[in-house]
A = this chain, B = another copy of it.
Amino acid sequence: MNNRPLILVTNDDGIEARGFRELISIAREYGDVVAISSEVAMSGMSHAITIKVPLRVTLLDDAPHMKMYLTNGTPVDGVKLAFHTLLGRRPDLLLSGINHGSNSSASILYSGTMAAAMEGAVNHVPSIGFSLLDFDPHADFSVAGDVAREVIRGVLENGLPEGICLNVNVPGIPAPELKGIRVCNQANGYWKEEFEERTDPNGRTYYWLTGFFHNREPDGQGEGTDEWALKNNYASVVPINTDMTAYTQLEHLRSWELSMAKNEG
């Protein structure tokens, strides 16, 4: 037993991802680490959970102050398994990533990295998801690592309100170009799909999901949003609410006077 923080580290790019290894190494500076990753890359798995097949967990590495597990489940399955079968006690911090590629704006909806962080927040564990805007498997994670250390420091010092996690994105630029860290709101945008239609050798049509991000902010800018920050060489930090109620709409919806009167009459 010791008093070092217990930190759960996970990701959605698989066990060999460089960003995951980088985040584990950073986490070890702050406490005892339990790391869990899916057997295969789980990008785009969002908050999916595994109901139809049994989950398996393998202990891959059992070093001093660091255990690493592998699971056949999704990132969210991994978090649930860690909380309930692997950790022994509630962790002090959950770190997810560092994702290879952006999870800013609407991309959060599809992100396994951020779903893992949200699963932590729902369980009232201070949780942070990190992403680097660089898909290169050999990307340089040193800037993202420095940003991560600063945000981890902030969370360890201040805590996070229950049900809230942080979505941290870092531009893929060299350290001297990074202007700082901005607290932002999620930019209004969406992924505009362009399905690429092909024909297989049997003459049947199939589609590859492709697309590009479309920013709906005024002039494609939206000062104060995560997209704006990243384009202007800031790292972005967005507080994410796992209570998804649109509170500003409650009163308006009540004015609709929905009722089953026609059945009651």
Q: Which of A149-203 contact B (CB under 8 A)?
A: 150-151, 154, 157-158, 161, 163-164, 175, 178, 180-181, 183, 185-186, 188, 190, 193-195, 197-198
Nearest Cβ on chain B to A192's Cβ, whole angstroms? 8
Is A48 an interface residue when CB atoms closer than 8 A count as contact? yes
A158 and B254 alpha carbons, distance in the complex (Å): 12
Nearest Cβ on chain B to A208's Cβ, whole angstroms? 6
Q: Which residues of B contact A253 (CB under 8 A)?
A: 154, 183, 237, 239
Pairwise interchain contact A175-B245, C-beta atoms closer than 8 A: no
Pairwise interchain contact A185-B243, C-beta atoms closer than 8 A: yes
Contact partner of A193 (CB less than 8 A), chosen from B83, B245, B262, is B83
Pairwise interchain contact A56-B181, C-beta atoms closer than 8 A: no
Nearest Cβ on chain B to A251's Cβ, whole angstroms? 9
5 of the cross-chain contacts (CB-CB < 8 Å) are A109-B118, A164-B246, A180-B258, A186-B245, A241-B245
Is A77 an interface residue when CB atoms closer than 8 A count as contact? yes
Which residue on B lies nearest to A181, using beta carbons? B258
Q: Which residues of B contact A188 (CB under 8 A)?
A: 163, 243
Is A90 an interface residue when CB atoms closer than 8 A count as contact? no
Q: Which residues of B contact A245 (CB under 8 A)?
A: 185-186, 238-241
Pairwise interchain contact B106-A259, C-beta atoms closer than 8 A: no
Pairwise interchain contact B154-A256, C-beta atoms closer than 8 A: yes
Stretch in A1-9, A17-25, A38-46, A91-99 with 4+ CB within 8 Å of B? A38-46
- Contact A207-B242, Cβ < 8 Å, known A180-B260, A258-B183: no
Please tell me how many copies of the chain the complex holds.
2
Q: How many residues of chain A are within 8 Å of chain B by beta carbon?
A: 80
Pairwise interchain contact A204-B80, C-beta atoms closer than 8 A: no
Is A57 an interface residue when CB atoms closer than 8 A count as contact? yes
Pairwise interchain contact B47-A109, C-beta atoms closer than 8 A: yes
Pairwise interchain contact B260-A250, C-beta atoms closer than 8 A: no
Most buried by B among A118, A204, A238, A256: A256
Pairwise interchain contact A258-B237, C-beta atoms closer than 8 A: yes
Q: Which residues of B contact A232 (CB under 8 A)?
A: none
A161 and B248 alpha carbons, distance in the complex (Å): 11
Is A36 an interface residue when CB atoms closer than 8 A count as contact? no
A76 and B44 alpha carbons, distance in the complex (Å): 11
Given contacts A56-B205, A84-B193, A241-B246, 19 further A-B contacts (CB under 8 A): A44-B48, A44-B50, A48-B48, A51-B209, A80-B195, A85-B195, A106-B242, A109-B115, A109-B242, A154-B253, A157-B256, A161-B246, A164-B246, A180-B260, A183-B250, A186-B243, A186-B245, A238-B245, A239-B253
